[in-house]
Structure 1
Amino acid sequence: MALIMVAFLLAFALPTIVSAVPQASSLTSSATSSAASAAPTYGTAAKNLIYAQQLVYDILAKHSDLVIVGIHGIPPSGGSGSIIAINLDRIGKPDDSDDDAVAVDHKTILAPSAADPSKFEIATPLFDAAGNMLNISINMVFNYQAGRIGDDLLGLFTRAYAYRQEVSKRVISQNILFQPIPQFNISYCG
């Protein structure tokens, strides 16, 4: 089975898989803080009226196996990487080293959630419609059940790859992800 998975990945010339070992997910883990320090405040998804946020809602509405979808990257104005769109109220949360490895170094990460064994995250670079790799990543957290058909690494990766392609077809450039939209067309109720 491992040989088939390697052949599959090579056949599609996908980015290097960085990790397939249990670790805490960057999207599903929560920062711990002492009572003395206040938790940082991030932007809300409902007020994040940009094209990337619409893409997040659209992919979630289409695929019920997804729990969380986040898009990470550096805005056209520069700065450091952060969450630019997600279905949680974490807009602007700075990227960690795993997020940078995906968005900037174009790696792919597959990781079961250490905090919640019913979740599995796949983070992969995002492309534009012409197939150009962007310095943007799409992170998808799936409902997961060990042993369930389709929830093996190859099944999850295949779904993540297909979902990423759906999003990529709608991205004409990196800048469009940051373009304001007047309102959401929401068919996702998260």
Structure 2
Amino acid sequence: MIDYSYSAATSALIMIAVALCSFLVSAAIILLLFWVVGLFLRWRDVNKVALAQALFFGFPFAVLGVTVGFVTSLSRESAVGAVLPAILSLVGGVGVYLVSRGGRSAITSAVSVVMLCVSFSAGIGYGSRARVENEQISLSWRAQVASATREANIKKYRKSIGLDDTPSQPAVAKAQ
């Protein structure tokens, strides 16, 4: 049973909030790494601009990671075998392209990969939690009472219009 208590707009806002939070966590990790590296190397203004540019271009990767992680974790099927190679191919392709361009692009590549990985993990966590909550709601006594009430109303309506209490089953051909 799917819980339709959230509208599509609310779900989209929640996903954007998760993406933004994972982006901020990723940015904090990256800034910490750059600060540690900056302790040993002399920072130039060019590196600060490159880092800001990398964070700007890393946000779409954060949104992609959250979305793919969320959809993957909602699935009951084994989606990891299909999703993980696709994510690794994307990371590899973008990484090779940006590193081959050199300079600032290498920083952008590293930041984008970190953002994608952290956001993918956040999306998986959020999606798993949503799936478990949905399952618990569908198994709750309130959901069972609502289902029983719905069935009773259907039977009552069928009886009021002169039909049998139970719907007829389609004929199935017997195998010989």
TM-score of the superposed pair, with normalisation by structure 1 = 0.28
Max Rg structure: 2
| Larger RCO (CA under 8 A, 6+ residues apart) | 2
User: Greater helix share, 1 or 2?
Assistant: 2
